[in-house]
Chains A and B, each alone.
Chain A
């Protein structure tokens, strides 16, 4: 093999950096939507590399549902400081109060849907014209069809039938006033690619990605942590288990997996061995209807 050869992770990295630079050059007010999960942490790492030795030329924006893992929030604040980035936090809680929205009910009161309201308000408040998101096309059927530069109308809506052709590595980010573009620099990465890259680059992650002890209940075959947001019913058996998280979303809609993987190598081995996909294993909300994501995206979701 020639020394002028990039392996697959280096190729994916080069592509993502190229996309980050296009965003910085084409838009006046871009923002990186930061969830605290491994995908957005990887994006921050890529953005840092894209603009080094300068600082990342856009803020990290966190739409805080109020249902986050404390470990993820702590990590978020640490990371923003570490890379010297501006951190903008907007709370779903405030949107609920201001707009008099109805709080979700039930045992797993997910504010996932409500995030869209806060996100759209935040976009308006800061006049963001490009929002960089960490969605990957391998995650889900609707995402598999979305472009890297995905134009949203004034209501944040995605129209799958009217997508711009995206040719070669040329990204057309021209928009009308009021519209914005969602940009997905890690579209072509799979879950395993992300993990392998985290290992290769030695990227720090919140501790909940590794095995730890937690009190959980079992819900339809999934393990959900007991927290201030999820309380056991009389029928529930509270178990203490060694678990880790494969994705980090809200405590109300993210399930844990039983694991003893204490470091990256062990996590990666478990992922290679597992036969259940990431969203299926850990997202309580995607199982509702098969077209759940398609609907949410059409309505302005990430």
Chain B
């Protein structure tokens, strides 16, 4: 059994919570007491139906206001897969939550209200999906029951969205007509929507091929923590613990330590204290090297002949996530996986309109939820790959050194 992480995105009334509630409910992942709590809170409704959306509403503050204020994570399992849903709210002002939820997702469900078609929010969510390179997109055209299950309406939305997808370079787009409220094409194939010959949503989620989402060709590793037991029997032990970001490492292979550029060989590999012959992404491993080289947290170990970019003048796309605006010349910490370096934003070139993708001049500072092209200089070099080629080694964050907040998502170019 494997694991699929996905995010659901939709505007406020697209029925996102109902959809998630329906997935949990129909796949029998809601338990009796949760259901009882649900029925209790639904008592005030006039029609007596169970409000599936309540299953996903978390905090009292949210229930009182009828909104979602933050990303919530939901879990469900079918015999084929374990699923982790990042449930991100739809409001414009919470784009930063969507980015949080989307950054780890292999799939996004973009909800479209069949009555509304492709709207500004659909575009915005799809642009974020394309910026973050989410590998799979499902366009779930919801509320089909409210448009008499019309195939024409569905087809027109598909044509409209295909335009958006083409413009954004989105690949692997799948369209499914659903009614989250009535349960059409969620777990079971809808009998009413007989003109649709694809899979219902859950079956699609169970079967979508994610094996190729992990890059096994280019090996990347960054040191997180140096293990030095310094006990009598392990006196000289020095192991570099970290996650295999991508690729495969084998015992005896020649490697290069960056940014220093020193070469050595892998002498021993361990996973969870057990010696192995090879390690691969996304394992948490320990690498031991043949030579005694000065290596610390944040240094990269790569293979000779397959080296990432090493540099401290960075072209980046920044998604600004903080209330305090960004000004040229501001200084931050930049964190790239485990490597933390001082950084200064040297210039801001243009702003990307997240509705049209047009480049616009930046006036004043960069505000919350804006996406800009910028250049950053770091105090010491990063070892990275362009985000477009290599999401896991091309992403970073900016941290405000006075507030300690995470203020930006950084996509290295």
A-side interface residues toward B, CB under 8 Å? 1-2, 4-8, 10-15, 17-18, 21-22, 24-25, 48-55, 137-138, 141-142, 144-145, 151, 160-161, 163-170, 172, 174-176, 187-188, 190, 192-193, 274-277, 280-281, 290-291, 294
Contact = CB atoms under 8 A, between A and B. Distances in A.
Query: Which residue of B2, B248, B297 has the most chain A CB atoms within 10 A of its CB atom?
Result: B2
Sorting the interface of chain B by its residue count into under 10, 10 to 19, 20 to 34 or 35 or more gives 35 or more
Interface string B276-320: 000011111010000000000100000000000000000000000
A50 B241 contact: yes
Interface string B27-68: 000011110010001000000000000000111110000000
A75 B75 CA distance: 30
Q: List 7 A-B pairs, minimum CB-CB distance, nearest first.
A: A52-B273, A280-B33, A49-B272, A17-B284, A54-B229, A277-B31, A291-B60
Contacts of A277: 31-34
A45 to B, nearest CB: 10
B162 interface: no
B399 interface: yes
B345 interface: no
Contact of A145 (B71, B227, B338): B71
Given A8-B81, A52-B273, A141-B72, 8 more contacts: A25-B338, A54-B234, A142-B58, A161-B69, A165-B96, A167-B99, A274-B31, A280-B33
B237 A276 contact: no
A195 B286 CA distance: 26
B118 interface: no
Interface string B224-245: 1101110000100101011100
Output the residue of B211, B338, B399 with the most chain A CB within 10 A: B338
A10 B279 CA distance: 13
Contacts of A291: 59-60
Nearest to A272: B77
Interface of B: 1-3, 31-34, 37, 41, 57-61, 69-75, 77, 81-82, 84, 96-97, 99-100, 103-104, 211, 216, 224-225, 227-229, 234, 237, 239, 241-243, 248, 270, 272-273, 280-284, 286, 297, 321, 333, 335-338, 391-392, 395-397, 399, 401, 404-406, 409
Given A160-B70, A168-B104, A170-B337, A6 B397 contact: no
A49 B60 contact: no
Given A11-B3, A22-B338, A164 B224 contact: no
Nearest to A24: B225
A15 B84 CA distance: 13
A14 B211 contact: no
Given A4-B248, A164-B406, A167-B409, A294 B99 contact: no
A90 to B, nearest CB: 28
Interface of A is mostly: loop
A290 B270 CA distance: 46
Contacts of A25: 224-225, 297, 338
A65 to B, nearest CB: 24
Contacts of B242: 21
Contacts of A166: 100, 406
Contacts of A52: 227, 270, 272-273, 286
B404 A175 contact: yes
Nearest to A298: B59
A2 B211 contact: yes
Contacts of B32: 275-277, 280
A275 B333 contact: no
Contacts of B69: 160-161
Given A5-B211, A53-B273, A165-B409, A294 B60 contact: yes
Contacts of A281: 33
Given A53-B227, A165-B99, A21 B284 contact: yes
